[in-house]
Amino acid sequence: MAHETPPQWDRDVRQRLLRGEAAALSEVYDRFAALAHGIAQRVLEGWDDEAAPGRVTREVFALLWSAPEDFDPGAGPLRSWIASRAHGLAVAELRRGAEEDPALGPAAQAARIRAASTAARADYILTAMPTPLRAALEHTRYQHLDAARTAARLGITEPETHRRLRLGLQLLSSARGYAAEAEPGPLPGTGPGAGAETGGGPRGGPEARPGAES
CA within 13 Å, CB half, 13? 24
Q: What share of the chain is helix, strand, coil (3-state, %, to 5)?
A: 65, 0, 35
DSSP letter at 19 equals T
**What count of residues does the chain have?**
214
Other Cβ atoms less than 10 A from the Cβ of 135: the count is 18
The domains of the chain, with CATH numbers, are: 7-129 (1.10.1740.10)
Which of 31, 12, 32, 28 shows the shortest CA–CA distance to 65?
28
**3-class state of residue 182 by DSSP:** coil
CA distance linking residue 97 with residue 109, whole number of Å: 9
Query: What pLDDT is attached to residue 100?
Result: 63
Kindly write down the DSSP assignment for every residue of 75-118, as one continuous string: GS-HHHHHHHHHHHHHHHHHHHHHHT-TT--HHHHHHHHHHHHH
pLDDT of residue 185: 47
Nearest 5°: the CA angle 147, 150, 153 is 155
Grouping H, G, I as helix, E, B as strand and the rest as coil, residue 51 is coil
The predicted structure's pLDDT at residue 122: 76
Q: How far apart are CA 203 and CA 19, in angstroms?
A: 6
Helices and strands of the chain, counted as H and E runs: 8, 0
pLDDT of residue 86: 92
Rounded Cα gap, residues 69 and 30, in angstroms:
20
**Whole-number pLDDT of residue 96:** 78
What tens-digit pLDDT sequence spans the chain (214 residues)? 455 688 999 999 999 999 999 999 999 999 999 999 988 988 888 777 789 999 999 999 999 999 999 999 999 899 989 988 998 898 888 877 766 666 666 777 677 777 777 777 777 777 778 889 989 988 987 788 899 999 999 999 999 999 999 998 888 887 665 444 444 444 444 444 333 333 333 344 333 334 434 3
As to burial, measured by CB atoms within 10 angstroms (0-12 exposed, 13-18 middle, 19+ buried), residue 202 is exposed
Total Cβ atoms within 10 A of residue 70: 11
| Of 142, 163, 139, residue with least CA distance to 152 | 139
Predicted confidence (pLDDT) per residue in 23-60, tens digit: 999 999 999 999 999 889 888 887 777 899 999 999 99
